[in-house]
Amino acid sequence: GREKKAKVVQVGKDITWHKTGGDLYHQSLAIEGRTSKYQVDIPLLGDFQLENAATAVAALEILTSEGFDISDTDLAQGFGRVKWPGRFHIMQENPLVLVDGAHNVASMRGLISNIRKYFSYKRIFLVFGTSCDKDIAGIISELIALSPQVIVTRAGHSRAAPLSTLAEEFSRRGIESEIIETISEAISRALSIADRKDIVCVTGSLFVVAETLDYFSGG
């Protein structure tokens, strides 16, 4: 058969980028590709989304070099329509409610870094539930860096970690948590005690994210 040659592009070397602006709902960045320069707006937050955008441009430049007709307008419209529910996703403001599907040590570390970078706040209320097969101790060891007020909860699936286990892990690290059985009740509780300058962060698993999105959509 015909030999196919794969094109390798190193994002960060062949393709570079830097952030130029943004607010709570979008980021602007300048991307320098191999063949052109781009000004891009994405309706997503988080440093990782900047790298994702640069990676997408790298792929589009390869497609263009192979004969695909992709205009700058196509590029701008495509980025403008991007959605990633549940990934550093703001559900409301005053108080700000942030939902993120982080469920391991590395992604939780990234979440904490982005919270500190993007937001100023008085207190942070953490609504946390995760699965029993995750590195619960490692994840919670990261989360205590936020000095949060904690509500532990669980999604309605069989692998959800026991609430007592989560509460014990926080307690071992000097944080006493409130135990609330369901995601919806936990969010309602957090909203009832948070004020306008606080953050409510809901995280720990994709199951928790799914039920949170359902809660805010009126499901």
CA–CA distance, 166 with 126 (Å, rounded to integer)? 12
Is the pLDDT confidence value at 26 over 90? Answer: no
List the single range of 7-21, 37-51, 115-129 with lowest mean pLDDT: 7-21
Instruction: Go through the domains of the chain in sequence order and give each one's CATH number.
Output: 16-80 (no CATH), 89-216 (3.90.190.20)
pLDDT band, residue 12 (cuts 50/70/90): low
The residue count of the chain comes to: 219
For a pLDDT cut of 70, what percent of the chain falls above it?
90
pLDDT interval class at 2 (50, 70, 90): very low
219 pLDDT tier (thresholds 50, 70, 90): low
Q: What confidence category does residue 83 fall into, taking pLDDT thresholds of 50, 70 and 90?
A: low
Say what the pTM is: 0.70
Tell me what the mean pLDDT of segment 183-193 comes to. 98
pLDDT 10s digits, 149-178: 999 999 998 999 999 999 999 999 999 999
Side-chain-side CA neighbours of 8 within 13 Å: the count stands at 2
What pLDDT is stored for residue 84 in this prediction?
A: 55
Average pLDDT, the chain: 87
- Supply the pLDDT for residue 1: 47
The predicted-structure confidence for 108-151, as pLDDT tens digits, reads as follows 999 999 899 889 999 999 999 999 999 999 999 999 999 999 99
